[in-house]
Amino acid sequence: MIASQKAYTHLVRRVLLPMIGLVALLLVGLLAAVWVVAAHQTSAAVGEEIRLVRSALAMRGEYMRKIALDYGTWDEAYQNLVAEPDAAWSDENIGFWSSSHYGFDMALVVGPDGEAEYIADHGERVSSSMSAMLPDGADAIVRAAVLPTGEGAASGLLLSDAGPAIAAAAIIRRGEHDQPAEAERHVLILVDVLDDKTLAQFERAYPLAHLRLETPSFAAAASAAIVDDEGRTIARLAWDGERPGDDLLRVAIPIWLAVAAAFGLLIWTGTGQVRSSTRIVAASVHRATHDALTDLPNRVLLFERLDAAARALGEGGAPFAVAYLDLDGFKAVNDRHGHAEGDRVLCAVAARLRDLVAAERDTVARLGGDEFALLLFSGRGDRGRLDGLARRFIAAIETPIALGNGVEASVSATVGLSLAPGDSSDPLALLRQADEALYAGKRAGKRRALFHDSVERGLAPAA
């Protein structure tokens, strides 16, 4: 059996695994290459669209800057906004005209103290404040506009009370070369909110499908940050970007799948014999590790699991117990009713023990004859729970067993237990200690469960 298993392992390692690995590597490499090319194509397209969005915002800002500059250097505007403020003139020429003719959403005249002296919202004069209408970003644009080295106007992005917006600011003065003192300086601010109307204009002018403001519930693969003059992201614009890589994938993936299917068929055909060998080896391994009569794990598999449990315990794993169980009265049944009926009793005992343990964790093994051993994680090393479990083993075994000749046989059991790590962490030592506890129980009158440390202390519980 061992030779057959080694031959199978050799076949898998030398032929099957390298072949599958090579084919899988080639297929994955091919798919990855296609995916990288597709991703690059899409990324390049989205990158161009992002540059287009930023260019569109910049061009709109420059357009607004020039208009603000024209207003700011208009003598009549200086006269009616600064020298002799005229609200009616401002309503008609600043508020109404900037909204109806240019489509701007807000117009503000800011005094030397930084407070708005005039505010128009969608062409109508309103009573509000600079901080309420433009809560974030306006100061940076105004600072850029009043720089001595500049033209007296600047544009940028800010956050208005209606959302992200493009804004332009210009000093209101008598002419292009006039430079008012700071204590007398007034600034005109024009604001265009990036609302559905403005974004629709951008969408008509540029190939940016479904341009909109990105929200957590309305995100898109293609988006660009709206950054104010201080480098802060105040919003994101999103759109349905071009994805040329998807077109490549739509062509390449079916071809890749066909190639993968062809290789898969080749491997499946070539490994038919290996699958057959696997079944043979698996059956051989099962026979080598399980009791032929009861189909319980045998001594080999028990030792393997004990060793694994001990290693896991050493690495901080769960405590466990080893139980050694021997039937009381089995020899009499075997002698009286024959070996066939004795085998029936052993199978019944095996089934009852199996029903009482946690199948996914615990192990019930037959060591030979009427001896059984159990690896128990149930109870987690708790003596009271383990003692109760051992007594249930005994009670279940003592239930009469129907034999084939119409009679019933009665047997009992004695159980010895050792605890890991309490008694030992060595698998062989734990088995030996459980065996010693078992025979101490036999000497004390049978039909009982006894822990190894009780034997060491000279204690023997009543049945």
- Environment class of residue 157 by beta-carbon count within 10 Å: exposed (0-12), middle (13-18) or buried (19+)? buried
pTM summary value: 0.51
Task: Tell me what percent of the residues of the chain surpass a pLDDT of 90.
Answer: 55
DSSP 233-286: EEEEEEEE---HHHHHHHHHHHHHHHHHHHHHHHHHHHTHHHHHHHHHHHHHHH
Q: Which pLDDT score is estimated for 394?
A: 97
Using the predicted structure, report yes or no on whether residue 262 has a pLDDT greater than 90.
Answer: no
Q: Given this model, what pLDDT does residue 281 score? A: 73
Query: Residue 5's pLDDT is what?
Result: 52
Q: What is the pLDDT of residues 289-301, one digit of tens each?
A: 999 999 999 999 9
Rounded Cα gap, residues 157 and 136, in angstroms: 10
pLDDT at 145: 85
Confidence category of residue 35, pLDDT binned at 50, 70, 90: confident
* Residue 90 backbone dihedrals phi, psi, to 5 degrees: -65, -40
% of the chain with per-residue pLDDT over 70: 92
Mean pLDDT of 323-329: 96
Structure tokens at 121: 């919202």
269: confidence class by pLDDT, cuts 50, 70, 90? confident
Mean residue pLDDT of the chain comes to 87
Query: For residue 462, is pLDDT > 60?
Result: no
Q: Is the sign of the CA dihedral 292, 297, 303, 305 positive or negative?
A: positive
- CA 241, 242, 244, 247 torsion: positive or negative? positive
Tell me the average pLDDT across 402-430.
93
**pLDDT score for 3:** 44
Q: Is it the case that residue 386 has pLDDT exceeding 80?
A: yes
**Residue 198's closest CA among 248, 235, 169, 149?**
235
- 120-128, Cβ contacts within 8 angstroms, sequence gap of 24 or more: 120/90, 120/91, 120/94, 120/95, 120/96, 123/95, 123/96, 123/98, 123/99, 124/95, 125/87, 125/90, 125/91, 125/95
pLDDT of residue 227 exceeding 90, the answer is: no
Predicted local distance difference test score (pLDDT) of residue 43? 79
For range 74-84, the mean pLDDT: 92
For CA atoms 385, 386, 387, 389, give the dihedral sign. Answer: positive
463 pLDDT tier (thresholds 50, 70, 90): very low
**CA distances from residue 276 to 114, 264, 271, 333 in whole angstroms, order as listed:** 87, 18, 9, 43
Which range has the worst mean pLDDT, 65-74, 199-208, 299-308?
199-208
CA distance 347 to 374: 16
Q: In the predicted model, is pLDDT for residue 271 greater than 80? A: no
Per-residue confidence (pLDDT) for residue 179, from 0 to 100 = 79
Q: pLDDT: is 450 or 267 the higher one?
A: 450
Say if residue 76's pLDDT is above 80: yes
Q: Tell me the C-alpha distance between 293 and 365, whole Å.
A: 12
Region class of 251: left (phi > 0), else alpha (psi between -120 and 50), else beta: alpha
Domain boundaries, the chain: 1-289, 290-456
What is the topology classification, in CATH, of domain 290-456? Alpha-Beta Plaits (3.30.70)
Q: What is the pLDDT of residues 12-25, one digit of tens each?
A: 667 677 877 888 88
Higher pLDDT, 47 or 376: 376
- Residue 128 makes CB contacts below 8 A (sequence gap 6+) with 116, 119, 121
Fold of the domain built from segment(s) 1-289 = Beta-Lactamase (3.30.450)
The residue type of 236 is: R
Query: Are 35 and 138 a contacting pair, CB within 8 Å?
Result: no
Q: Is the CB of residue 198 less than 8 Å from the CB of residue 102?
A: no
DSSP letters spanning 391-433: HHHHHHHHS-EE-TTS-EE--EEEEEEEEETTT-S-HHHHHHH
Question: Residue 246: which pLDDT band, with cuts at 50, 70 and 90?
Answer: confident
